[in-house]
Amino acid sequence: MTGRVDILVVGLGPAGASAAREAARAGCSVLAVDRRRAAGEPVQCAEFVPRLIGQDVEGMAPVAVQKIDAMHTFVESAAFDRTGGFTGTMIDRRHFDALLVEQARDAGADCRFDTVWECEFKVEAKLVIGADGPRSKVRAAAGLPEPRLIETRQITVPLLDPNNATDIFLSAEIEGGYAWLFPKGEAANLGVGVAPASRSKLKPILEDLRRRLIGEGRIGEAVLGHTGGAIPVDGIVGPEAALPDGTPVLLAGDAAGLTNPVTGAGIPAAVMSGALAGEAAARWIAGAADALDDYAEEIDDLFGASLRRAVARRRELERACAESLPQPADLRRGWIAYPEYWAARPAFPTPEAPNPMEAR
């Protein structure tokens, strides 16, 4: 495939589809490609989004599955702590991604799946938007380092005890991560994420939790589906760069490291950053020389402080895991539901800061 376009978007998840939509709405010629065969497949997230995302995505109602009113956090074997304010919606991620792609196409973007941009075709683009996930090929092509990644494993199970809260499980055994049970009506997403050094423990940790919840009568024994993925945990990468030939690059979503390094939440940041990248790209195409720098500044203004805090809290917990078994106080300090997480301003680490979990 050959041709010439104003903007090439690589990746058609929430970030890429949002970027393609906004750039096309601004009148740019947009080609958006994705190596997957269809939007949102396979699902690689827990499918929870905060309620405010409805302000950024039109027509959310058809993809909403269940409202969430609170968070329940279990620290080791203690009874859960209920935290209000963490409200949102469990969505059908396949339909959510398909909705965003449909919006991009309606705006005039040429969206193509089953297409590998770096080897299957040559398209001349004035600007490239990299929205191709945590292992972004665009980011690598621009010479930027790959952030550290944590690994996750998730299954879908029957939910016998319906509730309207997300359940979080913190334990010293879950090194550098946490486990979750997110309800979706009659089913639930049960998963766990861990630091790279503990990747071999993913399956047994998840199975132990599954058996525990079966024993408590909360879930059924059937496993209805499997999935997993990687989450970047070093904070912002880029988000402005260039390819070796000088073509400008903007990174958005996971490719830019915008997923929260503690919670793994990334859908809202992907949608927002993608839309901003599309708008900035269109302004640059129209002649606004400072549009790309403005995008980088806006990304830092919106996400920088919270991501730096999350990176610092993650590093603190990793250090506790490396030195000894983290205590419940360490686990609470490292989780967003507790005031300890927010109480003191942590010493924000630099990208060169040593990672004790990798040194083990």
pLDDT digits (tens, 9 = 90+) for 324-342: 888 999 999 999 999 999 9
Q: How far is CA 292 from the centre of its chain?
A: 23
Taking alpha carbons only, the member of 197, 194, 221 closest to residue 207 is 221
**What pLDDT score does 355 carry?**
39
Higher pLDDT, 45 or 311: 311
Average pLDDT value for residue range 209-214: 97
> pLDDT value at position 324?
81
CA distance 4 to 57: 29
What is the token pair recorded at 313? 């809290």
Residue 347 is predicted with a pLDDT of 54
Residue 318 contacts by C-beta under 8 Å, 6 or more apart in sequence? 175, 176, 195, 355, 356, 357
Indicate if the pLDDT at residue 196 is higher than 90: no
Per-residue pLDDT, 2: 61
In sequence order, the β-bridge partners of residue 189 are 156, 182
DSSP symbol at 23: H
**Percent of the residues in the chain that have a pLDDT greater than 70, as a whole number:** 92
pLDDT for the residue numbered 68: 95
Give residue 350's pLDDT: 43
Q: Are 192 and 212 in contact (CB under 8 A)?
A: no
Q: Where are the beta strands (DSSP E) in the chain?
A: 2-10, 30-33, 48-50, 64-75, 81-91, 110-112, 122-130, 149-158, 165-170, 178-184, 187-194, 225-232, 240-242, 248-251
Residue 60 has pLDDT above 90, yes or no: no
Average pLDDT over residues 225-239: 93
The confidence score (pLDDT) of residue 352 equals 40
Q: What is the pTM of this model?
A: 0.91
Q: What is the pLDDT of residue 16?
A: 98
Q: In the predicted model, is pLDDT for residue 358 greater than 50?
A: no
- Mean pLDDT of all residues in the chain? 90
Span 136-161, average pLDDT: 94
For residues 110-138, average pLDDT: 87
Residue 356: the pLDDT is 33
Confidence check: pLDDT of 354 > 60: no
The whole-number pLDDT of residue 353 equals: 40
Domain ranges of the chain: 2-45+93-147+234-308
Give tens-digit pLDDT for 18-36.
Answer: 999 999 999 999 999 999 9
Q: Is the pLDDT of residue 359 over 60?
A: no
59/102: higher pLDDT: 102
CATH topology of domain 2-45+93-147+234-308: FAD/NAD(P)-binding domain (3.50.50)
